[in-house]
A = this chain, B = another copy of it.
Amino acid sequence: MAEHGVAEKLPPDGRSMTPSLPNVPIAQSPVDKFREFLDIKKLKCTEERLRIVRYIFEAHQHFDVDQLLESMREKKIPASRPTVYRTLNLLVDAGLLRRLTFGETTAYEHAYGYPRHEHLFCERCGGVIEFVSEELDRLLQSISREHRFRPISRKLVVQGVCEKCSKPTADRRKLDLI
């Protein structure tokens, strides 16, 4: 009664947390960039905000709000849920994070210090494979031009099944027939 395709949660297997692309050289640290943003917007640079930003840019790649809250709690870094939401919105506005939607979950990933890329999302295990394609870039540029459309950003998620999940295994769950 509640399937409507697609995995419900990001998997806890660490897969979605692992960056797969080389970092990109950056002039300022994410924290400095965020400071700059707060400054321009006349917002205050508080300890709570910095804690969250520092934590996010320490290691995570893809995460959702609950994963972030839980892992911060584990590490005894205090942060309330509303402040996390508020800060994530600031970080998206600041261009430091990108908000993603895989299946049902809202996830976040680094948008700064990490190359622009697209996602192959496995509907079976919830895993994400990242890829970069200049050809895709050129193609979308040219299509946009044909329509006199000025592209700013894009969201591309190819949904399907990854290698691991398409290999039949002994213990694989029975597929939902139909």
Q: Knowing A5-B93, A129-B149, A154-B156 are in contact, say whether A144-B120 is a contact too (CB < 8 A).
A: yes
User: What residue of chain B has the Cβ atom nearest to residue A163's Cβ?
Assistant: B148
Stretch at the interface among A57-65, A71-79, A134-142: A134-142
Query: Are B40 and A178 interface neighbours, CB within 8 A?
Result: yes
Query: Are B149 and A163 interface neighbours, CB within 8 A?
Result: yes
In the assembly, what is the distance between CA of A101 and CA of B155, in Å? Answer: 10
Min CB distance A152 to B, Å, is 4
Query: Are A160 and B144 interface neighbours, CB within 8 A?
Result: yes
A162 within 8 A of B: yes
Question: CB within 8 Å of B: which of A81-117?
Answer: 89, 92-93, 101
Question: CB within 8 Å of B: which of A121-178?
Answer: 122-123, 129, 131, 133, 135-136, 139-140, 143-144, 146-163, 166, 178
Oligomeric state, in copies: 2
Chain B residues positioned under 8 Å from A159 (CB to CB): 151-155
A44 within 8 A of B: no
Query: Are A149 and B140 interface neighbours, CB within 8 A?
Result: no
Query: Are B149 and A154 interface neighbours, CB within 8 A?
Result: no
In the assembly, what is the distance between CA of A148 and CA of B164, in Å? Answer: 9
Query: Are A160 and B149 interface neighbours, CB within 8 A?
Result: yes
A to B CB contacts below 8 Å, 14 in the list: A4-B92, A5-B93, A131-B143, A133-B143, A136-B139, A136-B143, A144-B160, A147-B162, A149-B162, A149-B163, A150-B161, A151-B159, A152-B160, A153-B159
